[in-house]
Amino acid sequence: MAWTHPFEDGNGRAVRLQTHCALLPISAGLWSANRGLARNRDQYYAMLAGADAPRQGDLDGRGNLSERQLWAWCKWFAELCEDQVNFMSAMMDLHTLRDRIAAYVVVKGRAEGIKEYREECILALQTVATSGAVSRGDFVRMTGLGERTGRAALSRFLKDGLLRPAGDAQHHRSYVGIGFPISSLNVLFPNLYPEAATAAID
């Protein structure tokens, strides 16, 4: 598609979208080559230009374009994808994710004076993040807080997007799963993308 150049403008964006969609069956949306391309923009354009370079001698493939440079692009892109898989594997490591959840609750609670972000809620949030959705009642019980205080914390987490409704259609409103609001990414997933590192926690 890049070589065909079907559009007057936006070919790069269209190719990156197409590539992202083509990789979805193996990435499941957990990692994206686009993050790697954005972080290596100059090299990305240089490698792409090389793959579009003319054939370099009789031993450089049989077409009009350089087969050697095409293989160099393929190797570079495969390594870039592997780098993104490794990055997200580290981000999703359960032990470090639990630590980041704890840090987020403490930082947001203390820095902004939000009383619902209590340390008693950390274990319940970690459990939902690592083990899956639980009923609202179980979440409140896991905090060890009184019913009213626990329900207030649950409501606040749902409002902020740190928890979200989960479960099947029958139990959709009675179960909660972990959520990752944009404002939390600078702590929960540092360096996920450039804007996350500077996002304000609101």
Choice between 182 and 150, residue whose per-residue pLDDT is larger: 150
Q: What is the pTM of this model?
A: 0.69
Parse the chain into domains and list their residue ranges. 11-89, 94-198
The phi and psi torsions of 199 (rounded to 5 degrees) equal -65, 135
**What is the C-alpha R_g of the chain?**
23
Query: Strand ranges (DSSP E) for the chain?
Result: 134-135, 163-166, 175-178
Could you give the strand order of the β-sheet that contains 175-178, starting from the edge strand earlier in sequence? 134-135, 175-178, 163-166
Tens of pLDDT, residues 3-59: 677 888 888 888 889 999 999 999 988 899 999 998 898 999 999 888 888 888 787
The CATH class given to the 94-198 domain equals: mainly alpha
166 closest CA partner among 175, 179, 157 = 175
Tens of pLDDT, residues 147-177: 999 999 999 999 999 999 986 555 556 899 9
Separation between Cα atoms, residue 160 and residue 179, nearest integer Å: 9
